[in-house]
A = this chain, B = another copy of it.
Amino acid sequence: MSKVPTIGVFDSGFGGLTVLRELRKVLPGANYLYFGDTAHLPYGAKSVRTVAKYAIASAHCLEEHGIDMLVIACNTATALAIDDIRAAVKVPVVGVIEPGAQRAAAISKSRKVAVVATDATVSSHAYRNALQALGLQATEKACPLFVPLVEEGWVEHPVTEQVAHIYMDEIFRDGARDADVLVLGCTHYPLIRPLLRRVVPARVEIVDSAESTAAKVVDILGSVPSPTPGTLKCFATDSVEKFKRLGEKFLGTSLESVELVDIEK
C-alpha cells in the first residue's frame, strides 16, 4: 500500500482506545480518526435496535471525514450490529470478536474457552457462535462490575481482586472447568489484565481482543510506511474535557485534538 491509510476506530466511549493503542504500536505510520459515542455510553445494557442506530450514525460521521478502513473497537457494537454496520458503509469493517476468537482457536489445546464480557455481549452469544464455528466450546460470563471498577481507577485494588475472584470462581467452576484460554471480551478489561493474570488459573492463557484485532488489521492492510508518526484526531458526542481526561488513562498518552459532534441531527 503506497498511500498512508486513515483508519477509523469506533467505540461507545473510551475502552476502544485500548484497541487504538495496540494499532498505533503495530502501525505507527497510519493516520487515525477515533469516534467515541460518549453521549450514549455504555452500550452494554442497550438493545440491538438502539446500538445499531448509534453505531451506524457514528460510522457515517467517520466515513464523511475520509477513512480507508473501519475498526469497531467495541464488543457490544460488534456483537449486536456488525452486519448492519457493514451494510451501511463502503469501507472494509473489522470487529473485535472474530480476531479474538481466531487467536483463541490458534492456541487452545483443550478446545474449551472461557469468555468474559458485558451483559449485552454475553446475551448476544457472539463469542460463543464465533468460537463454535472454529470448533471450540465456549463458556461465557457477564462481569458487569469490571467496567465501573476500571473507570473508578481501581485497576490494582483489593475490591477489584475480590470481585475478580468471585467472577473467575464462577466461570471456572461452572462451565469452563477444562478451559485453557480466557478471552477478554470487553475493551476495558486489558487494563486489569495484570490483576486477572494473578487470579486466573496458571494453565489458562489470556487473549486480549485489542491485541488480536490490531494484528488482524495488519494482515489486511499489510505494512504501512512510517517515516513519520501518523496523525490522531478524536470525535466525541459528549464533553470534550471529560473525553480528554478519561481517554488519556486508556490511551496512555495525551489527547490533543478532540471535536464535539452531534449524531442525532
Contact = CB atoms under 8 A, between A and B. Distances in A.
Contact of A145 (B149, B158, B237): B149
A39 to B, nearest CB: 5
Interface stretch (A40-48, A89-97, A204-212, A222-230): A40-48
Given A144-B151, A264-B264, A39 B45 contact: no
Interface stretch (A124-132, A159-167, A175-183): A159-167
Copies of this subunit: 2
A50 B159 contact: no
Contacts of A242: 45, 47
Contacts of A148: 144-145, 147-148
Nearest to A158: B162
Nearest to A41: B45
B163 A159 contact: yes
A38 B40 CA distance: 10
A258 to B, nearest CB: 13
Contacts of A147: 148
Contacts of A162: 158-159, 162
Interface in A132-180: 144-145, 147-149, 151-152, 158-159, 162-163, 166
A239 interface: yes
A238 interface: yes
Interface in A170-200: none
